[in-house]
Amino acid sequence: MKITSDETAMQRTFRCLLAAMSRPGRIQVLPSTLEGGGGPREPLFLVLRSLLDQEVSFAVTGVDRTDALQAIIAGRTRCPAATIGEADYIVVAGGDSDGEILGAKRGTQQYPDTSATIVFAVRSLLAPDSRRPAAALSGPGIRGEILLGPIQGLGPRELEHLRTLNTDFPMGVDAVFIDERGRILCIPRSTKIRIQEN
Amino acid sequence: MNLREWMGRKKRDGCGNGPDYSFAFLDDVSKREIRRKILKAVAIPGYQVPFGSRELPIARGWGTGGLQITLSLVLPEDILKVIDQGCDGSVNAVNIKRFIQAVTGVRLTTDTGEATLIQTRHRVPEEPMTDAQILILQVPYPEALREVEPSERVTRRMHAEADYSRMWLYLYEDIVKFDEITIGYRYPVTVNGRYIMDPSPIPRWDIPKLHMAETLFLFGAGREKRIYAVPPHTPVVPLEFEDFRFRVENFEGKACARCGATDTYLDEIIDDATGRRLFFCSDTGFCDKRCGE
Amino acid sequence: MGYVAVKGGVEAIENACRAFVRERTKGTSTPLAVEQIRDRLFLLVDRVMGEGSLYAPDLAAMAIRQAAGDTLEASFLLRAYRTTRPRLGYSIPRSSAGMRVIRRISAAFKEVPGGQILGSTNDYTLRLLHFDLDKPSKAAGPDFSGETGDDPRDGEPLPGTFPRVIDILRRENLIVTPKRREDEPEAMDITRESLLFPAPRSAALQTMARGETGGLLLMAYSNMRGYGNIHPTIGELRVGYMPLCIRHPSSGEPYTAGEVKVTEAEILAKFTDETEGPRFTVGYGMCFGHNEVKAISMAILDRSLQTGTNATPSEDAEFVLSHIDGIESMGFCNHWKLPHYVDFQSDLDRLRRAKEIHESQGMDGKKKA
Tell me which of C310, C338, C358, C360 to substitute to probe the interface with B (most B C-beta atoms closer than 10 Å): C338
Of C1, C82, C87, the CB nearest to B29: C87
- Which chains have 3+ CB pairs within 8 A of C? B
Of B8, B40, B73, nearest to A1 by CB-CB distance is: B8
pLDDT at C149: 40
Using the predicted structure, report yes or no on whether residue C59 has a pLDDT greater than 50.
yes
- Determine the distance in angstroms separating the CA of A198 from the nearest CA of chain B, rounded to an integer: 29
Separation CA A55–CA A24 (nearest Å): 27
Q: What share of chain B has pLDDT > 70, as a percent?
A: 93
- Candidates B102, B103, B100; CA nearest to B116 is B100
Domain residue limits, chain B:
3-238, 250-293
Q: Which domains does chain A have, with CATH numbers?
A: 5-195 (3.40.50.11310)
The whole-number average pLDDT for the span C296-316 is 92
Contact across the interface for C339 and B85, Cβ inside 8 Å: yes
Report the alpha-carbon distance of residue B249 to residue C344 in Å, rounded: 11
Partner residue facing C346 (CB), from B62, B153, B185: B185
Work out the percent of chain A whose per-residue pLDDT is above 90. 82
Report the pLDDT value the prediction gives residue A3, as an integer from 0 to 100. Answer: 54
Higher-pLDDT residue of C250 and C36 is C36
Give me chain C's average pLDDT, please. Answer: 85
- Contact with chain A for residue B11, Cβ under 8 A: no
C residues 161-190 closer than 8 Å to B (CB)? 189-190
The predicted structure's pLDDT at residue C208: 98
Report chain B residues whose CB lies below 8 A from the CB of C3. Answer: 258, 267, 269, 278, 280
pLDDT band at C109 (very low <50, low <70, confident <90, very high): confident
> How distant is the alpha carbon of residue A93 from its chain centre?
10
Crossing angle of helices B28-43/A5-22, nearest 10°? 10
Confirm or reject contact between C3 and chain B (CB < 8 A): yes
How far, in whole angstroms, is CA B67 from its chain's centroid? 10
- DSSP-derived 3-state class of residue B154: helix
For the ranges A130-134, B58-62, B207-211, B278-282, the lowest mean pLDDT is seen at A130-134
B75/A11 touch (CB, cutoff 8 Å), yes or no:
yes
- Give percent above pLDDT 70 in chain C: 86
Instruction: Report, as an integer, the average pLDDT of C52-56.
Output: 96
Q: H or E element: which one contains C235?
A: strand C233-247
- pLDDT category at C131 given cuts 50, 70, 90 is confident
Residue C145 pLDDT > 60 = no
pLDDT in tens, B101-127: 999 999 999 999 999 999 999 999 999
Q: For C192, which residue in chain B has the nearest alpha carbon?
A: B52
Residues 6+ apart with CB under 8 A from C282: C166, C175, C176, C178, C235, C266, C267, C268, C269, C303
> Which of C11, C320, C342, C351 to mutate to test binding with chain B, by most B CBs within 10 Å of its CB?
C342
pLDDT of C5 reads 42
Q: What CA–CA distance (Å, rounded) separates A85 from B167? A: 37
Flag if A117 and B72 touch (Cβ within 8 Å): no
The CATH number corresponding to B3-238 among 3.90.1580.10, 3.30.70.141, 3.40.640.10, 3.40.50.11310 equals 3.40.50.11310
Contacts A–B by Cβ distance under 8 A = 127
Output Rg (C-alpha) for chain B, integer angstroms: 20
pLDDT in tens, C158-185: 777 888 888 888 888 888 877 766 766 6
CB contact under 8 A, B184 and C197: no
How far is C281 from C174, CA to CA, in rounded Å? 9
Active-site residue B63, yes or no?
A: no
pLDDT band for position C1 (50/70/90)?
very low
Containing A186, the helix (H) or strand (E) segment is: strand A183-187
* CB contact C9 to B (< 8 Å): yes
CA distances from C325 to B55, C66, C75, C79, C292 (A): 12, 21, 11, 12, 18
> Where are the extended beta strands (E) located within A26-182?
28-29, 58-61, 89-93, 117-121, 135-138, 146-148, 174-178
ipTM of the complex: 0.95
Torsion of CA C51, C57, C58, C63, to 10 degrees: 20
- Structure confidence at residue B7 (pLDDT): 64
Mean of pLDDT over chain B: 91
Mutate to test the interface with C, among B48, B71, B91, B120 (most CBs of C within 10 A): B91
Q: What is the pLDDT of residue A198?
A: 60
| B107 touching A (Cβ < 8 Å) | no
Report CB contact under 8 Å: B269, C1: yes
Choosing among B22, B23, B34, B74, which should be mutated to test the A contact, i.e. which has the most A CBs within 10 A? B23
- Lowest mean pLDDT, pick from A91-105, A142-156, B255-269, C274-288: C274-288
CA-nearest residue to B22 within chain C is C84
Q: In the predicted model, what is the mean pLDDT of residues C288-305?
A: 97
B15 is catalytic: no
Q: Out of B63, B87, B220, B287, pick the active-site residue.
A: B287
Domain ranges of chain C: 2-83, 96-117+158-329, 340-369
Band (C339; pLDDT cuts 50, 70, 90): confident
- Among B107, B117, B62, smallest CA distance to B84 is for B62
**Section B169-174 average pLDDT:** 93
Angle between helices C292-305 and C213-225 (to 10 degrees): 50
Q: What is the average per-residue pLDDT within C25-50?
A: 94
pLDDT of C143 above 50: no
**Nearest beta carbon to residue B84 from set C86, C191, C339:** C339
Q: Is B46 annotated in the active site? A: yes
Query: Which range has the top average pLDDT, A29-33, B209-213, C350-354?
Result: B209-213
Q: Is residue B21's pLDDT more than 70? A: yes
The pLDDT of residue B2 is 65
C115 vs chain B: nearest CA distance in angstroms? 41
